[in-house]
Amino acid sequence: MRRFPGSWRLNFSRLLCHPATDRVIAIVATIPFSIELWNRWTEGSADFARMALGLNILVQIITMLSRAPAQRVSMNPLFWLMACTATYGMLFFSAFASTGHPVVPGWATNAIAVFAIIILLFARLSLGRSIGLVPAQRRIVTRGAYRWVRHPMYTGNFFALLAVVLSSFAWINLCWMMIIMGIFLAKSFIEENFLRSDPEYAEYLTKVRWRWLPGVF
């Protein structure tokens, strides 16, 4: 049987794009981090901010089980690596971040953590079944939280990370937060460039100016 060069890559890309494969990967990848978070919680070594961050990421990953099929998906391996590094990097951070020491009162970090959860849930409900890890075109969402910023889920992630760093400050934690948020920032630009060819999304970009924080950025 004749084998065409590159055919295995095409078959592999189709396998990765299959909804069942994507969902299995998401679930399996959360298991070790979820176990570690649970162990820390039962041992009393995980505070509310850390658990809130873990909850944020688990909600985003688990709810992908019901997401709508994509019309087109970026197959750039760098974008896939960036998406997985950002998302699972946060889950890793919530489970294994250094204990550090608090730099603000506990009620303040808890308030920030709750605020992050509220933003995430508002954004997640607004997004519906259009959620994804890598740049992909699904139904364009302009309602709810997406009327104010273009990446509200990233906003929730930012505040969740901030709460952990303030409650468990260590320079290594601060560095990891900056790296993770830098990846999310780059990811937001990549997603917008990928979707810009859609006239509906191009119009959305002109109407909603801010990416993460209204009036700021």
- 8 Å CB contact between 62 and 30: yes
Q: Strand, helix or coil at 72?
A: strand
pLDDT recorded at residue 3: 47
What is the Cα–Cα distance from 50 to 61, expressed in whole angstroms? 17
What letter would DSSP give residue 215?
Answer: T
Compute and round to an integer the Cα radius of gyration of the chain: 18
Q: Residue 215: left if φ>0, alpha if ψ -120 to 50, beta else—which one?
A: left
What is the Cα–Cα distance from 63 to 83, expressed in whole angstroms? 16
Q: Alpha helices of 44-170 — where are they, by DSSP H?
A: 48-62, 77-96, 106-127, 152-167
Q: What pLDDT tens digit does each residue of the chain (217 aa) get?
A: 444 455 655 565 566 556 667 667 667 767 777 777 777 777 776 788 988 888 887 787 777 766 666 667 777 778 878 888 888 888 888 888 888 899 999 999 999 999 999 999 999 889 887 776 666 777 888 999 999 999 999 999 999 999 999 999 999 999 999 999 999 999 999 989 988 988 998 999 999 999 999 888 8
Phi–psi pair at 136, nearest 5 degrees: -150, 150
Helices (H) then strands (E): counts for the chain? 8, 2
Structure tokens at 170: 């260590």
Q: Strand, helix or coil at 167?
A: helix
What letter would DSSP give residue 68?
Answer: P
Residue matched to tokens 């890598």:
134
pLDDT recorded at residue 2: 47
pLDDT recorded at residue 129: 73
